Each structure stands twice: as C-alpha cells, then as structure tokens.
A and B are shown apart, each in its own frame.
Chain A
Amino acid sequence: MSLKSTLSAATALALVTAGGAYAEAHSPTITIATVNNGDMIRMQGYTDQFTEQTGINVEWVTLEENVLRQRVTTDITTNGGQFDIMTIGMYETPIWGSNGWLVPLDNLSDDYDADDILPAMAGGLSHDGTLYAAPFYGESSMIMYRTDLMEAAGLDMPEAPTWDFIRDAAAAMTDRDNDINGICLRGKAGWGEGGAFITAMSNSFGARWFDEEWNAQFDTEAWANTVNFFKDMMDASGPAGYATNGFNENLSLFQQGNCGMWIDATVAASFVTNPNDSTVADSVGFALAPDTGLGKRSNWLWAWALAIPAGTQQQAEALQFIEWATSKDYIELVAANEGWANVPPGARTSLYENPNYQDVPFAQMTLDSILSADPQNPTVDPVPYVGVQFAAIPEFAGIASEVSQEFSAAYAGQQTVEEALAKAQDITTEAMEAAGY
C-alpha cells in the first residue's frame, strides 16, 4: 500500500471516528430519576433499544425511594431542571399537577392508546381530568397465603374474606414452636410503610382521616376498632417485633416460610412465587384484601409513573421516552425476552385481556384488587380528599409520618392504643389548623 493511500485511509477513518463522536456528543440526552425496583432496573436494561430507535441518549439517576422523593421534590420546587423525567407516585402527581409543576400529558400520540390505561390508574394520576404522569406499573394490595398451612388448619380461604376470618385463620395457623406466625403485616413507622397499611385497613372499618370539613377523625370509634383489631391480632399471631417490620422484613419472613398469611403489595406475588428466592414458592395462594362488610375493602392503590417536570428543556424527547416505556410494545418486548410474569403489571387494560398474561397465577387477583380500589371514593363515609392509603394534600406526608410513629409505639407496647389515637388527633388537628384548613 502506498503512503498516499495509507494516509487517505487513515484520514477517512479519523473522519468517521470523529463524526461518530461528534454525533454522540451532540445527540440529545435526557436524564431520568427513578427508584430501585425490579421493573425499573429491567427498563434500564432495554434503554439501548430506545436510543437505537430514536437517537436519544438516556442517563439514569437511580435512588432509594425516600431519597428520590426528597431529591425530586427539591428539584421541582426550585425549578432546578436536573431531570427531564421523574418517577413519581399517585400521591405527588395530582398535587404537583395542580401547582403547574408538571407538563400535562394531553398530546400523546394515537398509537400510544391512552384510553387503554386502567381507569383507576388514570384517575389517580390526573388533576381536573388531565393526565400528568403515565403509569409504568401499578399495584394494589392483596392476601398472599400458604395453601399448605391453610389446609393443615382445616380452613378454606374465600376469594374475598372478612377480617374476622383472617384473625381466626391467623390464630389457627400460628405455631410458635416451629417459627410460624399466622399473619405478617407492616407495623413500621412511616407514611409509606405501616402508615399506608393501617390507613387502607381503616377504610374497611368505616374510618377516615378527615370529615368533609377537614376535621381530624382519630377520636372516632371506627379508628379505635381498626387499631385495636390490628394490635390484638398481631400480638396473638404476628411475628416478634412486628412494630418495626416493613415490606422487606415481611417478604423475608414469608419467603423463608415463617408466615401463614401476608397482606401487602401485589408486586410481591412475583417474589414469593419465584423458586430461586422463596422456599414456599409452590404453595402460595392469593385472595382479595379483607373487609368488614361495610362496602370497602382494605386494599390500597399505587402506581409508579413517569412525569415531565415543567422546567425541562427537552420536553419532546422526554415525551418520546415516556411513550416508549409505557407502551404496549414495551410490554411485548419484556414478555418476549423474560416471560409474561415479568412484564410491568397494573397499568394497561389490554394486558389483562391478553390470554398469555391470563395464565400468570396472580394476574387476575392483581387486576381484581386494582379494580376494587377507588381513590375518588376511598372510604365508607364521604371525604374531601383523593387517595386510598393517603390523602392527596401536601401536608399529609408529614402528618402521617408522625401519626404512624405513634401507632408503632402502641404496637411495641410503649403506649396504649387510646393514647396513640389521642396524640394522632392532636398532631393532625394542630398541623391542619397551621396549614389553614
């Protein structure tokens, strides 16, 4: 090869390399803040396919849920512009949407089929009828129980049991000598931990956080019945130290065969039925969360959704990503590579009409649980707020964190249930008055 042709080839190679580097450096990049859970991590793995299709690069900022909440709240309230897409939940979306902090998702393409989003999810992620975040996956809560222990106790789990049945079944399944607790529930302080559980449970007992004039309601008989029932049942049939147990602690107990029943997020179904992690994977049944016959069940409703902060400079690219990540095609992509049990659940109606997905053991119960939760009318008596296990007002997170600390102290025996409820009433009344309600 002559010197001239060698130089020509080298020049061409350099130009191609430089061109590629230039294109990569100048192609748009969006930054997404998200939580660390299985579905979100799986999505990160498929991001290259999105980049190939659109030429848009994606940077991920993955954080623990509580850190993420603080981080994105700081950024959106100061118009920091650090993120082009934020992963937020049903609590933040209507509040931030009403404040004008989020870009309304009212120009989604026809191919996206926004009408396919489950109505309960769309309702919880909207303000005044406008969708502000697209659900990536949704969840409710349901009963997961050990079929072998239930059979050994001589009981049959109804599809829609009452709390009385659950209490009696828990007592019958408890076998302290063999480390089996009849029931495992969240008692840990925190509005998203034990606070979420007891609020959803209280709905089925006819309790509510506020009356229609925003007066705190912890001095009612319904709340006393709820918390006393919870504590009595857990003292008799729950694990030791349940006052500090949250989702992860109960998941660990259930997977190791130490729980007869566990009422928690529907996403846990895939964990407890996974034989790689769970020692009881082949003996798990599902049922709707219990009620007391008053017309409301004790299941919650939650969605992790993707929203665009109003301060972003890359609105069009962010919208493109959201349409890709929450599309029917994305669900097909995950199903083709990892099986139908691993697709993000609870967001689209069409998923539950798909015969392949109907074969997944917990699919129907998940859908039934989601459909039975109504964030617009969560309680037996009317309330002025939206949300099943929370009230979608800015003050709620702070108040509920304090209230749940009082409840956890009562579960741990540091105070009586009556004392905890009296403190909850004072905390809530004071905070709501200070906030001008």
Chain B
Amino acid sequence: MARATTTRRKIITTAAAWAIGFTIFFPILWTILTSFKTEAQAISDPPVFLFFDWTLENYAVVQERSNYMRFLWNSVIIAGGSTVLGVLIAVPAAWSMAFVPSRRTKDILLWMLSTKMLPAVGVLYPIYLICIELGLLDSRIALVVILMLINLPIIVWMLYTYFKEIPGEILEAARMDGASLKEEILYVLTPMAIPGIASTLLLNFILAWNEAFWTLNLTAAKAAPLTAFIASYSSPEGLFYAKLSAASTMAIAPILILGWFSQKQLVRGLTFGAVK
C-alpha cells in the first residue's frame, strides 16, 4: 500500500514537474516555431502549431540584413568580460565577509543589494555624460565595467552564501600549515567552492547576456550586442513577427546551448549548501 502511494506520488510529481517545465519553455518553443513560418502563418488565427510549410526564409533575410557575428562577438566579450571581472573582485570581498566578518558585514551586504533597487533610468544621464567625457560611448569597455558593477552585488551575495558553508577550520588548518592569504584563497577555498563559483559565473553570464537597458542605450554601431540585434527587428508599424522570431532564436541559441551543457553544474551550484 505504502509502495503504491509512493509510486502514485512519484508519477504525479513527475507529471507536474514536466507540466511546469513545458509551460516555462513554451514561449521559447513558440518563438523557435514561429521563426520557421511565413509572416502570414505567424499571425494566422487559429494559430498553426507544427503542420505548416517550414521555411528558412526568415533566417536568410536576417542573415542578409544584419552582421550577426559582430553582434554575437560583442555579446560574448561584454557578458564574458563583465562576469570574469566581477568574480575576480567578488571572491576576495566574499571571503572577507564570510571568514572575517565585522559588526557591519550584514549591513554592507544589504546595502549592496539595495543598489539593485534603483531604477536604471534614474542614472542614465549621469552615466551617459561620464561615458561622453571618457570617450567610452559605443565601446565594449564601458559596458563590461557597467554590467560588472550592476551584477556585483548578486555575485558577492552568491559567493558569500557558498563560502559560509565551508568550515572555517579547514582554512585555519591551511594557515597553520603556513599557507599565505593568496594561497589560502587560491588553493584551499576556491577548489572547495568550485560548484558555487561555476554557477555564479553561469548565472551572471546569462544576466549580462540578457541585459537590455544599458546595452541599448550606450551603444550605436560598434559595440551593440545581440539585444540591439533583436531590437532592430521589432516594429510597432508592420508585422515582422517571423523575422523577429528568427532574430530572437539566433540571439538565444548560444545561451541555450551553454545552459544545456552546463545544467549539471548550474543545478549543483544553485543547490550547494541547500541540504545540510
């Protein structure tokens, strides 16, 4: 009886998980399907799901009209650069907060997080003017620094949480064995926190990849990443949904592939320390 209940519960739980997963994935699936339709099929009512004349025409048009590789390369540099720079700064910061806390550590952490509550548009003009002064408008360097600063509170918070799970005694033992601070962080702490650091890297790479306020407002022709590529296919006066879907599919494909291959690390990192 108990076994039957357990089996039934498993089936229900699995079905529910699949249903939730499919619901979350459906908009992406629909975007991918629409990218293979004609513009007329894209708006047809009732909508067509799988049985339509599949076409690659939208991809050909997008490829012909836009320099996809330039947008992609800019996205890789901006998302990758800001993530790596952020982790380099956040690891020592999180170490000090986790292992050498002061009375104000919690306050500092909360204050850092509170900066995320400021609407980005509130500082658009000051940052725009600073970029003009420094000659950094439409440059990847500006976006690497700005996105790093935006995501730094999240990176520090995540790493702090992972580091807190590591027993301080292990670090003390390393110190007693003569390890310097640098060696302690590099050779003792970092290897133990690899799942946490990996998931932090991945999550922040995804956040930086999808960032669409600063990347649209601070770039023009040279440093524009894939968010600008998608924006160039959106139009309030004209039905270009199939082409927009093709552009969106091309923009999300790299991050989908990255997420697919690194899902184990991502899940392991996100659940790191969840069960004691």
Contact = CB atoms under 8 A, between A and B. Distances in A.
A36 B129 contact: no
Interface stretch (B39-47, B82-90, B164-172, B255-263): B39-47
A41 B132 contact: no
Interface stretch (B25-33, B181-189, B220-228): B220-228
Interface string A1-44: 00000000000000000000000000000010101111001001
B231 A248 contact: no
Nearest to B222: A59
Interface centre among A66, A74, A79, by most B CB within 10 Å? A74
B107 interface: no
B235 A80 contact: no
B220 A36 contact: no
Nearest to A192: B236
Determine the main DSSP class of B at the interface with A.
loop
Given A37-B237, A38-B238, A63-B228, 12 more contacts: A36-B232, A37-B235, A37-B238, A64-B232, A64-B236, A71-B216, A82-B220, A247-B236, A252-B43, A255-B43, A277-B40, A279-B40
Interface string A254-274: 011010000001010001000
Name the interface size band of chain A.
Answer: 35 or more
B231 A256 contact: no
B237 A61 contact: no
A83 interface: yes
A376 interface: no
**Interface of chain A: mostly helix, strand, loop or mixed:** mixed
Contact of A256 (B45, B138, B221, B224): B45
Interface string A72-85: 00100011111100
Size category of the B interface is 20 to 34
B233 interface: yes
Closest 9 CB pairs of A and B: A59-B221, A62-B232, A64-B234, A36-B235, A82-B220, A252-B43, A61-B220, A31-B221, A247-B237
A79 B137 CA distance: 12
Given A41-B65, A44-B65, A74-B125, A61 B236 contact: no
Nearest to A277: B40
Nearest to A311: B132
Contact of B217 (A33, A70, A256, A277): A70
Nearest to A267: B237
Contacts of B272: none
Contacts of A246: 236
B100 to A, nearest CB: 43
Contacts of B129: 78
B234 A36 contact: yes
A248 B238 contact: yes
B274 to A, nearest CB: 40
A60 B132 contact: no
B68 interface: no
Contacts of A59: 220-221
Interface of A: 31, 33, 35-38, 41, 44, 59-67, 70-71, 74, 78-83, 192-193, 246-248, 251-252, 255-256, 258, 265, 267, 271, 276-277, 279
A78 B228 contact: no
16 contacts: A36-B235, A37-B238, A41-B65, A61-B224, A63-B232, A64-B231, A65-B237, A67-B216, A70-B217, A71-B216, A79-B132, A80-B128, A251-B238, A251-B239, A256-B43, A258-B45
A66 B45 contact: no
B124 interface: yes
B240 A36 contact: yes
Contacts of A255: 40, 43, 239
A267 B132 CA distance: 38
